[in-house]
Chain A
Amino acid sequence: MSKTIKATADDIWKNKVEKINSELFTLTYGSVVAQLCRDFHNDYVQVNAQLERMGFNIGIRLIEDFLARTGLGRCQSFKETAEVVSKIGFKIFLNVVPLVTNWSGDGKQFSLVLEENPLAEFVELPQDDKASRALWYSNVLVGVLKGALQMVQLEVDVAFVKDVLRGDDATEIRLKLIKVLRDEVPAGED
């Protein structure tokens, strides 16, 4: 199973995804974060929230692109969702495959550990303690994950728990399944 997932993802990455220059991508994201820090006068809590909001808006749209490229159907379990997010989602959009790990006993929580983070290339946080304690530089990913998963009826709590930019040993995003939303059919449609 996992082998076919990998093969599918590699194929999509190679043949169906248009690439852009990674420096363009990284530096553009950096400009956005820097601008937000200025806008919010280095209130990093607000910057995090804004990045998440921007990501959410990306995520609710990106999922359509994801489904169109992959032609995948519904996942049977949250475990499968985790695999698909990591091995296909991250692979085809960012060309990295985060490690799925730290499952909770009830199977409703797991972590994505990013060995490489394309968003954070060339990045150093400001020397002030405040930034390294409060800013989650790559927080847009949190929003993207939330938005995309919500569009496939999964209400998920997502948050960064570690970031190498802050001096942690790894970059880790925690996902927690809150509930599976019911398909709601708009009134007047069968």
Chain B
Amino acid sequence: DPSVNELLFQNKDDLPGTVKILEDELIRSEDVHFRIESYGFSLGLRISELLLSQEQQTAHKLVELLDVMKFVCRDVWKNLYGKQMDNLRTNHRGTFVLVDNSLKLISRMSSSKGMTDTIGKAQPYLWFPCGIIKGILASLGIPASVTAEITQFPSVSFSIQTSIES
């Protein structure tokens, strides 16, 4: 069987100057989702190490789960996307919601077919930062599941579910 990769390459509409490929339903396949998330995950593991070695002081402060989330909101996001997260909420039972009001990855996207279509096509791009957050948490010994939702374009909420009580 040809891989999803192979099938995507065979898409005849994927011509220079077009974004037709984003309409290929394979983009939304689990295979692609997993792959994009792993790119982010692998990046998260490494960037965490890099940032903590550069800023030893921060490293000492990462005691509570909340501190780790603040590290993601401030240091990581600032470093990767040039801005901090805009909001951080928690239910104090292991669930956190991080909000970026204008996620750089998708903020300049615009579909000619309107907002619903823009949001649909931007969705696969969110698997990458989800993977990054997951990777960073994993590097600090916190297993978590991370999902993202576009609330009001280009505002994105990341929901993080950890099994650790805080």
> Measuring CB to CB, which residues of chain A are less than 8 angstroms from any residue of chain B?
21, 23-24, 27-28, 30-32, 34-35, 39, 53, 57, 60-61, 64, 122, 151
In Å, the complex CA distance between A151 and B40 comes to 31
State how many residues of chain B have any CB contact under 8 Å with chain A.
Answer: 20
**B50 partner, pick from A23, A31, A32, A35, beta carbons under 8 A:** A23
Asked if A32 meets B17 with Cβ closer than 8 Å, knowing A21-B79, A21-B82, A27-B47, the reply is no
Chain B residues whose CB sits within 8 angstroms of the CB of A34 once the complex forms: 42
**B46 cross-chain contacts in A, Cβ below 8 A:** 27, 30, 122
Q: CA A81 – CA B9 in complex, angstroms?
A: 29
Contact B43 A28 (CB under 8 A): yes
Report B's interface with A, CB cutoff 8 A.
3, 5, 9, 14, 16-17, 35, 38-43, 46-47, 50, 79-82
Q: Find chain A residues with CB under 8 A from B16 CB.
A: 60-61, 64, 151
Residue of A nearest to B15 (CB): A60
Complex Cα spacing A162 to B65, Å: 46
Nearest B residue (CB) for A24: B80
* Contact A61 B17, beta carbon cutoff 8 Å: yes
- A87: min CB distance to chain B, Å: 24
Give the CA-CA distance A24 to B132 in the complex, in Å.
10
Known: A31-B39, A122-B50. 20 other contacts (CB 8 A): A21-B80, A21-B82, A23-B47, A24-B47, A24-B79, A27-B42, A27-B43, A27-B46, A27-B47, A30-B46, A31-B41, A31-B43, A32-B39, A35-B38, A39-B5, A61-B17, A64-B16, A64-B17, A122-B46, A151-B16
